Every structure is written in C-alpha cells, then in structure tokens.
Structure 1
Amino acid sequence: MSRVGVLALGPAGVGKTTFCNSIITHMQSIGRRAHLVNLDPAAEATEYEFTIDIRDLISLQDVMEEMDLGPNGALIYCFEFLLNNLDWLDEEIGDFNDEYLIFDCPGQIELYTHVPVLPTIVRHLQQQLNFNLCATYLLEAPFVIDRSKFFSGALSAMSAMILLELPHINILSKVDLIKNEVSRKELKKFLNPDPLLLNAADDKETNPKFARLNRAIAHLVDDFGMVQFLPLDCNKESDSVANILSYIDDVTQWSESQEPKEPKDEAEIDDDE
C-alpha cells in the first residue's frame, strides 16, 4: 500500500505551519490520523509536536554558530547534509505506513528554484519510500489581491508546479484578514483568475515601461492555465480546511488505497442505533 504525503510550501510567513496544524486538527475530528514532519531546521513546534524533526539531525542555529554562516547559507548547508544522510529520513519514516505525513517545509523558495533540494527529496520519497505526494502552495490573500503583486505570486506557484512535478494545489491563506467588503468581493476574482483581464485592469496604474513585461507574464500564466486557488480560513476549519483536504484526498487517491471494510450485519446496525 502506498503512503500519502502532503508538502506545505510557500514563502516565509504565509501560514504554512498554521495550515499544517489545521489539517491535523480537522483529521483528528473526523477520526483520521496524521503526523507532522518538520523539514525546516529553524522551526519550533507550535500547536502539535513534530513526529519527525530535521533538527534531530541538524539545526540551523548550530550550523550558523559552528560554520560562521548567515541564515540562508546555513539553510543550504543543512539540506545538503540531509541529502547526504537520507538514510536518517528513511529510518524516521519507516514505521508510518498507512497514515498521512504532512511535511512542513521552509519558506526559502530557492530550495526548489535555484538548488534542487526539494525536488531530490520528492523523488526519494516517491521512488524509495513509495509515497503518493501532493504539493500545496500557499500565498497570502492580502498579498495576491494587490494586482501589482499577483503575477509574482503566480510565477512562484508555477515555478513550484513545474520543478516538483507533483499534483499541485494552490491556496490563498489568511482570507480572514480581508475585512473590507469591497476587498472580499475582489478576492473572488483571484480564486480562478483570468490573468489577461487582471493585467488589463492594472494597466492604468502601472508604469508604462513595464506594460510589455506585464502582458508577457499574463500570457505565460494564461497559457499554462493552471493557476487557481482555494481559500483558506483557519478560523472556519470545518469548511475551508475540509474542502482543501478533499482535494488532497482526490489527487493522492487516498480513498482508493484504503482497505475495504466488511459491511455490518443487521444486529450490528441495531446496536449502533
């Protein structure tokens, strides 16, 4: 039976850890189990303890102190060390066969845009550990509905989709922070965006010398036709988080991998009632 893993990706501060905790809370409420795997050597546990923690192998703080490196250089060192010690990850994951593993990843997107760290880990999880994986890519809703910033967010999401080559779900986090009624109506345009219309609407406010670049980016995003978003409001766990989990279940084929259950006989049904 293949395993299921969910990667929580996105820039720093978008709410990846909050999202991971919300998924686990919801799964527990419906009688399913999940475990949190921390792949950020600088992260501290919040609501739930990490079942598997990269800091048991190497921590960012130790590397910065011992190697006299800055945070970004130390992060690259940590992941190069992990790639040279993937047998540690294999041993840590070894006992978890039939449960969700949720991988909380660091926010430095250069780990999959400039250096092939996460793509290498993804291939290892798929080929060596038989994982069905799904990538969730989070962007902040207040950031994205600023049209001048939408395309940078869309390009970063596309970059992750192309480089990781995984089933991919884009998520707009922190929608609860958008209080203004006009902005909330505007948000709907970004859940299933038409990049060409968004670019046309933004032309009046953009420096004309960037117009051709913006149009080229809009056409690129439109040609791929894959940049859509699901809203995430962690204050409304029962609807938005449940909806996102249903998408994850679909793309990872979680239901198909479950063992069939014997139907209850009439006596058992009467007892349940």
Structure 2
Amino acid sequence: MSKYGVMVMGPAGVGKSTFCASLITHLQLNRRSAFYVNLDPAAEHFEHEPDLDIKDYIPLEDVMDELKLGPNGGLIYCFEYLMEHLDFFNPLDSLTEEYLIIFDMPGQIELYTHIPILPTLIRFLTQPGALDIRLCAAYLLEATFVVDRAKYFAGTLSAMSAMIMLEVPHLNILSKMDLVKDQMRKKDFKRFITPDTTLLDDDPADAARRRGGVTVDVNADPKDKDALMSGNSFKKLNTTVANLIESFSMVSYLKLDCTDAESVQAILSYIDDCIQYHEAQEPKELPEEEYEDE
C-alpha cells in the first residue's frame, strides 16, 4: 500500500516551516491526517510539534560541539549519519494512505543542488517495500525576490538544479505573497510565473543603483558590492543565467500566501495531483434511497 508525502524545501528564510504549519492546520480543519517529519537539525520553534524529529536523533548543536564543525558542515554530517541509520524512519511504516507525510527540510541549498545525499534519501523513501511513499517536492522561493532580478534568477537556478538532481514530481512556489501583493500589480507579477530574459530589461534594483549615483568602475574594489553589482560583468552573468533557465524551460511558479486559506488549499490541490492522492481513494457509496411500501 502506497503512502503519500511532500518534501518542503528551499533556501533559508523562505517560509518552509510556516508553510508546513499552514498545511497541517488546513488538513486538520478538513479532517485529513498529517504526519509531520522535521529533518532540520537546527530548527527550534514549531507551531505544530513534529511527530518525528531529527533533533531527537542527532542534534546539530551536539555535532558542532563534539566535531568542531560549522553549521553547514554539521548539517551535512547529520544527514550522512541519518543515511547510515535509516531506522529513524521506522515510525512511517505503520502509516496508512490516509496520511499526508510532510517533510520539513533545512535551508542549506547545497543539499538540493550538488550534494548527492537527498537523491539517495528519496530513493529509499519511494522504493517499493515498507515505505513506498509517493513523494513530490515543493521548492519555495520568497516572492520578494522579484524586486531584485539577480536574486530571482539565482533562486530560480537553484530550483531548476533541485528539479534535475532529485528527479521527483516537483512544484516551484513563490511564498510570502502577502508581502508583495500591495507593491506590484497582478498584471506585472504574471511575468514572474514563467521566467524569461526580458525581466532583466527593467530591473528596479539596477535602476535604484543608478539613481543613487553608483558608477561603474572596472577596477572597483571587490569588497564594494554596489559597484560590482552595477558592472557589465555582473549583468552578463545574470543574462547568461537567465538564458540557461529559459533554454531548459522547466521552471514555473505557483503563488502562496499562508495567511489565505484558499491559497493553501490551491497548493494542496497541486500536491495531491502530483502524488495522485485522490486516485487511490475509495469511492464513497451513496446512501440508499428509502421507498415506502405500496
């Protein structure tokens, strides 16, 4: 019997845990079961207490103290340790198809772009057998990135890298829409749903630097961020990244506002479609009609 799950991922600060909490609340209000798995060994605060928590198994602070590692190195060690002790996931064995298993992932994008730990974990979770989870990935990118085209295309490139490396059904989501809905017209925002190179032609961040009198100096100090980011080399880099993304034509975005129940429901419907949740549900029998004896 298959199980169903979604792996919520993305850079630090994009609202992954907030989305997980909104998703769980929405499922509970609609009488659906959720099983919350925290795989971020550095997470501290939860709106919903995890049903399974990597911090109870291998806390990041202990790894950093004992092995004298930094946060990134410590997190990679935690995942390497987890892959050697996959019995951590044994509590998932008893779950039925009624549950949506929500994996709350850490924010280090190295895990999604070039370190081959997550593909191995996903193969374990999805392989036929005790778990056999129909899994999809939800990659979040903060909607405020659209104000700075360089951040937007860099985030889109990381989303595309995750799609290529993880090889699972994939949703790309612009989170925190409530922060930008009053700053940009809906008509203008539609341009960011499917990335294209023309977005670089009217970069407001570049215009702001020009208004601020930042001049381009080919011999600028590498520590002078504003001067470097207004230079031709930086523009060529962004254009190259945008062209690469457009040539693959893989990334498009959904919009998410966790303060809006309809927005959360819309994202959940896409998740259900990716994992084919409703196809596995038993059809409900209609109540029998009662007839009076003639």
Scaled by the length of structure 2, the TM-score of the pair is 0.84
Mapped contact 1:141–1:187 kept (Cα < 8 A) = no
Q: Distance in 2 between matches of 1:54 and 1:151?
A: 32
> Aligned residue for 1:233?
257
Deviates more, 1:204-213 or 1:116-125: 204-213
Mapped contact 2:142–2:174 kept (Cα < 8 A) = yes
What displacement does 1:263 show? Answer: 2.3
Which of 216, 230, 242 is the aligned partner of 2:240? 216
What displacement does 1:67 show? Answer: 1.8
Tell me whether 1:92 sits opposite 2:91 in the alignment.
Answer: yes
> Aligned residue for 2:175?
173
Mapped contact 1:144–1:153 kept (Cα < 8 A) = no
Unaligned runs of 5+ in 1: 268-273
Superposition CA RMSD, Å = 1.9
Tell me whether 1:155 sits opposite 2:157 in the alignment.
Answer: yes
Q: What are the equivalent positions in structure 2 for 1:43-192 lying under 5 Å apart? A: 43-89=43-89, 91-98=90-97, 99-127=99-127, 128=129, 129-178=131-180, 180-182=182-184, 185-192=187-194
Mapped contact 1:42–1:61 kept (Cα < 8 A) = yes
Q: Distance in 2 between matches of 1:64 and 1:218?
A: 37
Q: Which has the larger radius of gyration?
A: 2
Name the % identity. 55
Give aligned pairs, total.
264
Partner of 1:63, secondary structure, is helix
What displacement does 1:202 show? Answer: 4.0
Scaled by the length of structure 1, the TM-score of the pair is 0.90
What displacement does 1:152 show? Answer: 0.2
Mapped contact 1:6–1:102 kept (Cα < 8 A) = yes
Q: Which amino acid aligns with 2:281?
A: Q
Tell me whether 1:254 sits opposite 2:277 in the alignment.
Answer: yes
Q: Which amino acid aligns with 1:264?
A: P
Q: Which amino acid aligns with 1:4?
A: Y
> Cα deviations across residues 161-185 of structure 1 (Å, max 9, x unaligned)?
0000011111111111125444665
> Aligned residue for 2:198?
197
Q: Which amino acid aligns with 1:43?
A: A
